[in-house]
Amino acid sequence: MRAGRLAGLVLLPLAACARPTGDFGRAAPSVVHDAALPIVGRVVADARGEPVSGFTTTADEQRLRDRGWRFLVPARAGLVDASLAELERTRVLPATGLAYDAEDYYRSLRGGAFASDVARYNRLIADMNADAALLPGFDEVACRVLAADRERLGAAGRIPGLEADFVANARARVAENSAFIAAVGAALRARVVAYRYAIDHLEVESPTDRLFEANGAWSDLTGVIGALRCGAGPAPTAPEGVVEPVPPPAPETPERVIYYKL
């Protein structure tokens, strides 16, 4: 554990260098983020006793990690949170789920970067729509990776003479892929909670006719998540005590707010 923390401190400046992104905030190639940090991450993950495979990464496994990266980094994250999430993604730090607090996203929308309530709603709607647009592609790759893992384990069990450490590498890669998909699923559930929190609080703070569009984008996103076959598990629902977008939410109560916490 100390090795992981030390590596995290040493490499925080590297992680703080923003990972290049393409359309919809999708990850773009980066030597630092795709090679340097993962190499260190495998070393410290092994020291923590986590499964670490020595296998080369397949094209689909790389696509899985590239397409899932957007969801692991908190929406509208500050530099520190984004850097910590990147260190977790590359396994330099252990996965802790630290990246999400429902209130953080709402606070980021109220920051100085947004000059008006229209700009805040526009950003919120754009974030939800971008998530919904990227998720089917991630799910498609996740299904292919899981199917390949089933074939991998089946072959490892039926082909005679495979070395024990080779089979162990196969099992470790399956564990790595499953853990990554599960982490994305947890991050997605946290994202929709954060979006719901922001919508409900913006409705009270700065009501506007964009509220209907925001609620529609949230419903569309949760519907997309519910239709995923492999990428995120069951569809997230509004936490207990949070009224769904239709009919309109009930007035806020002190008891209701606590359910936004993860």
Flag whether 40 is in a domain: no
30 lies in a domain? no
**Domain extent for 236:** 60-78+96-260
**Amino acid at site 79:** L
Question: What pLDDT is recorded for position 51?
Answer: 84
Per the rule left: phi > 0, alpha: psi between -120 and 50, beta: everything else, 97 is left
Lowest mean pLDDT among 58-67, 71-80, 152-161, 162-171: 71-80
Mean model confidence pLDDT for the chain: 77
Enter the pTM of the model.
Answer: 0.76
In a domain, residue 142? The reply is yes
Do the domain assignments include residue 202? yes
Is 38 inside any structural domain?
A: no
Confidence of residue 3 (pLDDT cuts 50, 70, 90): very low
Residue 1 lies in a domain: no
If you search the block for the tokens 């709603």, which residue do you land on? 121
pLDDT at 64: 93
Q: Is the dihedral of CA 229, 147, 134, 91 positive or negative?
A: positive
Q: Which pLDDT score is estimated for 117?
A: 87
pLDDT of residue 73: 79
Domain assignment of residue 161, yes or no? yes
- The more confidently predicted of residues 202 and 89 is 202
Q: Can you give the pLDDT at residue 232? A: 66
How many domains in the chain? 1
Q: Does the structure show a pLDDT above 90 at 25?
A: no
